[in-house]
């Protein structure tokens, strides 16, 4: 059985957190492992709609991101995949504080993967929940393409050889 390389995980987190969209929303992946991910964002003025609450698109972006990365450690290093569907249930408004999003793998298949994500606020309330489906694309939109796009250095191997 393959074991996840912690050096690879740390390098991936550093790489993706430099992504332009992540920077725009000030969201950060803080945890990544087999079947899960964690994303955080400290809410600011840029996350709010004209009524003073979080914009629904922020929930959607957080759920899509956490669900996407919850699958990453379960697929081969060269695998690529893209989001084909995201569903979001807005359960409560948020205006300030930190949102924490926990992504969890539901199923990793040969062509379709499904993951869910739950958004909680600084007080531990669930404020949104959702699900995302990803289509396996061969090598299209793989981590190697992210490295190239972000002009990053080569990553350590994703998996370590076990004894």
On whether residue 157 sits in a domain, the answer given is no
Residues 41 and 47: beta-carbon distance below 8 Å: yes
Rounded mean pLDDT, 70-95: 96
Identify the pLDDT of residue 1: 61
Q: Phi then psi for 140, rounded to 5 degrees?
A: -70, 130
pTM comes to: 0.95
Task: Please determine, for residue 139, whether its predicted confidence score (pLDDT) is greater than 90.
Answer: no
Rounded mean pLDDT, 84-112: 97
Rounded mean pLDDT, 32-44: 98
* Residue indicated by tokens 């050096």: 7
Encoding tokens for residue 62?
């957080």
**% residues pLDDT > 70 (the chain):** 98
On whether residue 87 sits in a domain, the answer given is yes
On whether residue 137 sits in a domain, the answer given is yes
On whether residue 160 sits in a domain, the answer given is no
Identify the pLDDT of residue 152: 84
58 sits in which H/E element: helix 56-72
pLDDT band at 64 (very low <50, low <70, confident <90, very high): very high
Task: Please determine, for residue 111, whether its predicted confidence score (pLDDT) is greater than 90.
Answer: yes
Domain containing 76 equals 3-152
Task: Please determine, for residue 163, whether its predicted confidence score (pLDDT) is greater than 90.
Answer: no
Identify the pLDDT of residue 54: 95
On whether residue 163 sits in a domain, the answer given is no
On whether residue 158 sits in a domain, the answer given is no
101 vs 127: CA distance, rounded Å: 10
Q: Which residues contact 14 (CB under 8 A, 6 or more apart)?
A: none
- Domains in the chain: how many in total? 1
* CATH code for the domain of 40: 3.10.129.10
DSSP 8-class letter at 138: T
On whether residue 72 sits in a domain, the answer given is yes
On whether residue 91 sits in a domain, the answer given is yes
Task: Please determine, for residue 162, whether its predicted confidence score (pLDDT) is greater than 80.
Answer: no
């Amino acid at each position: 059985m393959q074991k996840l390389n912690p050096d690879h995980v740390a390098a991936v987190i550093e790489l993706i957190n430099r992504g332009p969209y992540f920077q725009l929303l000030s969201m950060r992946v803080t945890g990544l492992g087999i079947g899960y991910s964690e994303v955080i964002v400290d809410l600011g003025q840029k996350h709010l709609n004209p009524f003073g609450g979080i914009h629904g698109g922020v929930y959607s972006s957080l759920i899509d991101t956490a669900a996407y990365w919850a699958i990453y450690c379960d697929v081969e290093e060269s695998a690529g995949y893209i989001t084909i569907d995201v569903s979001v249930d807005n359960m409560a408004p948020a205006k300030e504080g930190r949102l924490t999003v926990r992504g969890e793998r539901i199923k990793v298949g040969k062509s379709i993967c499904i993951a869910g994500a739950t958004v909680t606020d600084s007080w531990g309330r669930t404020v949104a929940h959702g699900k995302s489906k990803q289509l396996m694309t061969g090598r299209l939109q793989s981590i190697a393409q992210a490295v190239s796009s972000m002009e990053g250095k080569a990553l350590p191997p994703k998996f370590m050889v076990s004894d």
